[in-house]
Structure 1
């Protein structure tokens, strides 16, 4: 890889990171590529060098956020015992929520965007997460793996709501 290619890849990652922040803070419809460029300390035309449209930038940001979850889950799945699987997946997701809060907020907002390409990316991301968790639960011999997968994902969504609304009491399990 040449230095120019490496710099270009790094710049693209910086633009995506800036977009995630801006979209999460302002919402996709209010955010502008000018604001993304400002956050990335570059010119707006430079954003368009990598992404033809704001929607293309959103798609890439969503793909990055889903890949982070999938990669994290796969690391857990391939490194823990069956007995610790669910707890370690919860811990991995909790860590993502802390370190990459804006990515979770971005995904939550994207659920309300009804553009076909965005819906398709969201569906694919959730399908991959569902498949990874279900396959891991099933291979670990967890009883009612499909139901446990659904509950795991539902709890994750509740965690997202709890985080976004700053309502930690939604997550209390002890009376």
Structure 2
């Protein structure tokens, strides 16, 4: 990769990381690309070299869904079937702890009506649902579809518990 290309990729990554933080803290609609640029320590025109505000949100959401899918796949590839569900829960809890802003951003995005945002959210949750359901089925769970629904519902409750700072909502497994 050429030096200029490597720098561009690095700056894109910096911009997306800054956007995740700014959007999660301030809210997508209230945040500005100027605030994202400031957080990334670059100029606002440089942000626009790569992104519109909406495309920046879409990429930030793609990053967050990819992180979850990769983490879940690692669990699926390495854990015994009888440990699958608890290992997936622990993997998600670890993401919530280390990438809290990404989860908060996903929660916000659930209410955003713009088509590209809704599309990336639908694609992300669908991918995670299919991944979990396939893993439960391959692990021999007869109720894979129901177990997947419960698992996703538990994840949503985890999100609310974290966002509202109400750990009592969760029952530890």
Give me the TM-score of the superposition, normalised by structure 1. 0.97
Q: CA shift at 1:124, angstroms?
A: 0.3
What stretches of structure 2 of length at least 5 have no aligned partner? none
Which whole-Å CA distance do the structure 2 matches of 1:140 and 1:13 have between them?
A: 36
After superposition, where does 1:159-174 map in structure 2 within 5 Å? 159-172=158-171
CA deviation vs aligned residue, 1:40-95 (integer Å, no higher than 9, x gap): 000000001111x1001000000000000001001110111101111110111000
Aligned twin of 1:97? 96
Q: Secondary structure at the match of 2:62?
A: helix
Aligned twin of 1:43? 43
Q: CA shift at 1:7, angstroms?
A: 1.2
Aligned twin of 1:80? 79
| Alignment root-mean-square deviation, CA | 1.0
Which whole-Å CA distance do the structure 1 matches of 2:171 and 2:132 have between them?
A: 23
Aligned twin of 2:68? 69
Q: Secondary structure at the match of 1:114?
A: coil
Superposed structure 1 runs of 4+ greater than 4 Å apart: none
Aligned twin of 2:6? 6
Task: Determine if the alignment matches structure 1 residue 146 to structure 2 residue 145.
Answer: yes
Give me the TM-score of the superposition, normalised by structure 2. 0.98
Which whole-Å CA distance do the structure 1 matches of 2:136 and 2:3 have between them?
A: 43
Q: CA shift at 1:143, angstroms?
A: 2.4
Q: CA shift at 1:118, angstroms?
A: 0.8
What stretches of structure 1 of length at least 5 have no aligned partner? none
> How many residue pairs are counted as aligned between the two chains?
173
